Amino acid sequence: MSQPTPPRVQPVEAAQSPETVPSRRQALKSAAVGAAALSAAPFVLAQKKTGIKWRMQTYAGAALGAHVIKPAIDAFNKAANGEMTIELYYADQLVPTGELVRAMQKGTLDAVQSDDDSMASPADVREFGGYFPFATRYSLDVPVLFNQFGLDKIWEESYAKVDNVTWLSAGAWDPCHFATRTPINKLADLKGKKIYTFPTAGQFLSRFGVVPVDLPYEDVVMALKTGELDGVAWSGITEDYTVGWADGTKYFLTNNISGAWIGHFFANTNSWKKVPPHLQALFRLAMDSSHYYRQHWYWGGEAELRVNGPKLKLTAIPDAEWATVEAEAVKFWDEKAKKTPTAAKVVAVFRKYNALMAKAGKPYRYG
């Protein structure tokens, strides 16, 4: 009678319990994932290190740009931590100021800081950027007009009709005064003066005999020193000192044709869409930081340099005579309002806002 075959006994180390199998499979799976991550790590790290690259040009030269834009962009680049970097260029470094929009549309520039007027914007709000005569009295008027009186929506709608350009934000700069080689004490003194100024401001000032002159921004200092220009109506006294115009002029007219320059940030639409939401939010914070910096830098500088600035002597046209300039501005507004439906809407906002400020009285309006 044959003996039964004994059962096969597996070594203890080879035995697998139901609890052991899943844990080992998980370990193998984790190892595979880890290996894949390690193999991909150089690519991922390279992507993070490179990040998004933007080229941005401002209307301002290097001396002015050090205040009106560079601190905000430096802060953005630091906070973005390599995910995005903005290379900043100053006036005319990559393209002339008058070609900023076309360069943005083509993607040569990803972003621009400028007013609509000096960059020859094709938008139907062009003439209201920069210094629209007597539209503002103080720098705080600008953010209120855009954030509480609807100019932001008008600008968004206007640039929505411009191919591949997105309007992002508006803010205030300094008031518009004359700095001249010879004194201005009455309106007649403006006649024949060759003045560097903005296109729309130049249209208005030509009614008083001013000869508007268009030059590259960086050529203005030399043109003042050589007499090619008699003066500038481009800024307040802070900018005159900062960019060297106070070295080519001797007098500063305290009457102004605008209380604050209206300027903006723009982006190439395709470039803006590629920026993830958290970096878009960061860039908006950077723009707000730029707006805030200018509010106090210009406001303090205008007072300090009028009182203690050693280079420019203050002059003034009597209020009664200057009132004729303000009256002419009302006619100028009426003419512009008739040009397009958008122009009519903008002028209506200016009228409504300034009427409110006048009724509010001090400190919103004096006189």
Please check whether residue 163 lies inside any domain of the structure.
yes
Confidence (pLDDT) at 49: 55
pTM score = 0.85
For residue 218, what pLDDT band results from cuts at 50, 70 and 90? Answer: confident
What's the structural domain count of the chain? 1
For residue 225, what pLDDT band results from cuts at 50, 70 and 90? Answer: very high
Q: For the domain that residue 306 is a member of, what is the CATH number?
A: 3.40.190.170
* pLDDT mean over 10-35: 43
Please check whether residue 252 lies inside any domain of the structure.
no
274 or 1, higher pLDDT? 274
Please check whether residue 106 lies inside any domain of the structure.
yes
Which residues, including other chains, have CB under 8 Å from residue 119's CB and lie 6 or more apart?
59, 97, 98, 100, 101, 112
For residue 16, what pLDDT band results from cuts at 50, 70 and 90? Answer: very low
Rounded to an integer, what distance in angstroms lies between the CA atom of residue 178 and that of residue 225? 16
Length of the chain: 367
Please check whether residue 180 lies inside any domain of the structure.
no
Confidence (pLDDT) at 154: 98
pLDDT, tens digit, for every residue of 301-325? 999 999 999 999 999 999 999 999 9
What would the two tokens of residue 172 be? 């205030």
Please check whether residue 207 lies inside any domain of the structure.
no
Percent of the chain with pLDDT over 90: 85
Percent of the chain with pLDDT over 70: 86
324 or 28, higher pLDDT? 324
The mean of the pLDDT values for the chain is 90
Confidence (pLDDT) at 366: 81
Rounded to an integer, what distance in angstroms lies between the CA atom of residue 260 and that of residue 172? 6
Q: Rounded to 5 degrees, what angle do the CA atoms 236, 240, 246 make?
A: 135
Please check whether residue 254 lies inside any domain of the structure.
no
* pLDDT mean over 44-61: 79
* pLDDT mean over 179-183: 98
Q: Is the pLDDT of residue 43 over 90?
A: no
Please check whether residue 280 lies inside any domain of the structure.
yes
For residue 367, what pLDDT band results from cuts at 50, 70 and 90? Answer: low
What residue numbers bound the domain in which 270 lies?
A: 52-174+261-310
pLDDT, tens digit, for every residue of 84-115? 999 999 999 999 999 999 999 999 999 999 99
Confidence (pLDDT) at 37: 45
Please check whether residue 114 lies inside any domain of the structure.
yes
Which residues, including other chains, have CB under 8 Å from residue 85's CB and lie 6 or more apart?
51, 52, 53, 54, 77
Rounded to an integer, what distance in angstroms lies between the CA atom of residue 42 and that of residue 39? 7
Confidence (pLDDT) at 46: 45
pLDDT, tens digit, for every residue of 146-176? 999 999 999 999 999 999 999 999 999 999 9
For residue 8, what pLDDT band results from cuts at 50, 70 and 90? Answer: very low
Confidence (pLDDT) at 10: 42
Q: Is the pLDDT of residue 279 over 80?
A: yes
Cis status of the peptide bond prior to 71, with omega within 30 of 0: no
Residue type for 64, please? L
Confidence (pLDDT) at 18: 41
Q: Is the pLDDT of residue 14 over 90?
A: no
* pLDDT mean over 68-90: 98
